[in-house]
Amino acid sequence: MPGAIKTSLASLHDVELCSYAAAGERRAFGELVRRHGSAVRHLLRRMGAQAAESDDVAQDAFLAAFERIAEFRGEGTFAGWVKKIAARQYLRRLQRDRRLSALAAEGVEEEADAYAGDADHRIDLDEALKVLSAAERVCVSMCYGAGLSHGEAAEALNLPLGTVKSHVKRGLEKLRARLAPVNEAKTGGAVLEGRRGNG
């Protein structure tokens, strides 16, 4: 019978699973974790968390999501909602360990050498993110991975909005150079302002 239950849960939409989970059905929530756990863990790793840390934070985020599942109205995707929770929890952990202040105080170090000669190869996002500074990686991941606006990211990071925008802009430039097709990389991309600059 458990197998049959799993199969029936697997056929349900996220929103349906959320409503079951809101009624206290933990197996339904488990199915959601099975579906989106990897995406959340990937995001945390892209933000700079180590594998074990990303797993811990992702677990905490899912538990927090279960507690607050009634707040999820289905306006966005469930994965997006949990990613936001996870990103904020990761930042709280950084703050608790006093790593966030170090990240905020991080200087603007150009790491051009790290990617100058690699534009000929189209590499994946994980590799590309490695050339970003920690602050840039966190800001870009929060805005493009977790779906936070610049303003929300600034609030979560406890940084001025302008600083976050700068980190995102520099991060995007580096990513663009790293990820762009060869011809574009050679000509140089336009300066990215970021369409998320909605405060």
Partner 1 sequence: MAEIDFERRLERLFGDAPDLADATAFAQRVEQRLDRGWTARRWLIGAAGLAGGVIGASQLMMSNIFQQVATAEHSAKTLSAGLSRVTPTTDMVSALSGGYGVWVAVGLAVVTMGFAVSRVIEEI
Residues near partner 1 (CB under 8 A) = 26-27, 29-31, 33-34, 37-39, 41-43, 46, 55, 58-59, 62-63, 66, 124-125, 140-141, 144-145, 172, 175-176, 179-181, 184, 189-190, 192-196
Least distance in angstroms from the C-beta of 193 to partner 1 = 7
Least distance in angstroms from the C-beta of 98 to partner 1 = 27
Size (the chain), residues: 199
Distance CA 120, CA 100 (A): 34
Least distance in angstroms from the C-beta of 175 to partner 1 = 7
Closest Cα partner for 138 from 68, 41, 45?
45
Residue number with CB closer to partner 1 (11 or 98): 11
Dihedral angle over CA of 14, 69, 91, 196, nearest 10: 60
Cα dihedral across residues 173, 110, 196, 190: positive or negative: negative
Are the beta carbons of 30 and 65 closer than 8 angstroms? no
Closest Cα partner for 99 from 56, 135, 140, 52?
135
Residue number with CB closer to partner 1 (103 or 142): 142
Least distance in angstroms from the C-beta of 147 to partner 1 = 8
Distance CA 44, CA 89 (A): 10
Residue number with CB closer to partner 1 (48 or 145): 145
Residue number with CB closer to partner 1 (97 or 126): 126
Looking up tokens 């974790």 gives: 33
Residue number with CB closer to partner 1 (133 or 137): 137
Looking up tokens 């990937």 gives: 42
Least distance in angstroms from the C-beta of 55 to partner 1 = 7
